[in-house]
Amino acid sequence: METIHTIEWMKQVARAWRTEGCLVGFVPTMGALHEGHLSLVRAAQKQTRPLVVSVFVNPKQFGPQEDFEKYPRQIEADRALLEQLGVDCLFAPVAREMYPDGFRTHVSVEGLSDRLEGRARPGHFRGVATVVLKLLEIVQPRFAYLGRKDAQQARIIRQMVADLNLDTEIVVCPIVREPDGLAMSSRNAYLTAKERQAATVLYRALDAARREIESGERDAARLVARMRQIIGAEPLASPDYIEIVDAETLEPVVGLRGRCLALLAVFVGATRLIDNLLVEQRDDECVVSL
């Protein structure tokens, strides 16, 4: 596996692949890799070759009071994992390479970025869209793979790619969970033992909503109330938001129809975790994906 730290060399390698007609795949990450990331790698390897994985903790998507400095960084362990999986290239630039002195251009996806995570974390999605556009332009992949745990982020990136006529197709892959249901996340490492046990409340709330939906409930307010009740019963958990929205517009819905997302952001101790479930109406059937 080749490790590349500079934009210019990554672009030269990408140009050579395109000249050879390669179907390049790409998995963008902030490192501290876990099975959720590795599932994206495996999905990409089924469709593409060569495969590039980026590891870059993007300062532009962290607010002033957020966890940029303490965000887990373990580049050597990440490199070893990717090498074991047969990844072709690790792109690991430093911040000054991506944002040199004088950098002043940013990308905003209006309408989708100002609510939910965007409301809770002002400027977050501007940082995400900016870095993802840069990475897609540098690597020039045919397919890029994202996880559905960050559902709003995936929706925003799909919109950016469509609006800017990029040649990359975005593939959104299922959430990967621990045996007790907790969605895998690099931030899970922040949790104490008691907090880790309490964090399962996100999954328990979503699973309760799933059971209600599968029993015929379609009223969004009642489903939100049920999830809020379960989270409220956990002393170590404090909800930031609990909403059910249209999966395309991210606007709140009154009743479930088409494709909807139930989205949670919950503080467990000082750690903020997110999770979601996807509801898809197919003919007369409602399919729920956790």
Does the annotation mark 34 as catalytic? Answer: no
**Do residues 50 and 159 both lie within one domain?**
yes
Instruction: Please identify which of the residues 5, 34, 37, 106 carries the catalytic annotation.
Output: 37
| Same domain as 261, residue 168 | no
Terminal C-alpha separation, the chain: 34
- Determine, yes or no, domain membership for 105: yes
pTM for this entry: 0.95
pLDDT per residue as tens digits for the range 130-186: 999 999 999 999 999 999 999 999 999 999 999 999 999 999 999 999 999 999 999
User: What is the domain range of residue 257?
Assistant: 186-289
Contact 22, 66 (CB under 8 A): no
Domain count, the chain: 2
Q: SS3 letters for 31-61? A: CCCCHHHHHHHHHHHHHCECEEEEECCCHHH
Q: Report the SS3 class of residue 183.
A: strand
Same domain, yes or no: 111 and 243: no
What is the CATH classification number for the domain harbouring 81?
Answer: 3.40.50.620
pLDDT 10s digits, 43-84 = 999 999 999 999 999 999 999 888 899 899 999 999 999 999
Q: How far apart are CA 96 and CA 109, in angstroms?
A: 24
Q: Which residues of 141-169 are buried (b: 16+ CB within 10 A; e: fewer)?
A: bbbbbbbbbbbbbbbbbbbbbeeeebebe
- Per-residue confidence at 42, pLDDT binned at 50, 70, 90? very high
- 179 domain residue, yes or no: no
Q: Report whether 149 contacts 182 (CB < 8 A).
A: no
Q: What is the mean pLDDT of residues 100-117?
A: 96
Same structural domain, 144 and 227:
no
**Are 74 and 115 contained in the same domain?**
yes
